[in-house]
Amino acid sequence: MGKLIFLVLAVLIVWAVVKSYANSRRRDQAPRTAAPEDMVRCTHCGVHLPRSESHASGEKFFCSEDHLRLHR
Ligand SMILES: [Zn+2]
């Protein structure tokens, strides 16, 4: 009887560990997939960067204000 209780407890512990591991993995992955951002290409030097970090001039994007100014 004692052996059966031990077995049930062991299964419950393993299940709890696996479940918490799966939850923590899901939490880790969430921020990466939450906000996929457009990548744009600097018209001057060709470097790729996120749209939010780029300097836009009409339809064209630049990696820095220097390259934006050089293109004008
Ligand atoms: Zn550039």
* pLDDT at res. 19: 93
Question: Which of 68, 69, 70, 71 lies closest to 56, judged by CA?
Answer: 68
Tell me: the pLDDT tens digits for 4-58?
999 999 999 999 999 998 888 877 665 655 567 899 999 999 999 999 999 999 9
Cα 2 to ligand 1 centroid, rounded to whole Å: 71
Cα 36 to ligand 1 centroid, rounded to whole Å: 22
Other CB atoms within a 10 A radius of the CB of residue 63 amount to 20
Q: Does some domain include residue 40?
A: yes
Q: Does some domain include residue 57?
A: yes
H-state helical runs in 1-72: 2-34, 65-71
Rounded CA gap, 28 and 6, in Å? 33
Cα 35 to ligand 1 centroid, rounded to whole Å: 24
Could you tell me the pTM of the whole model?
Answer: 0.50
Q: Does some domain include residue 11?
A: no
Domain coverage including residue 42:
35-72
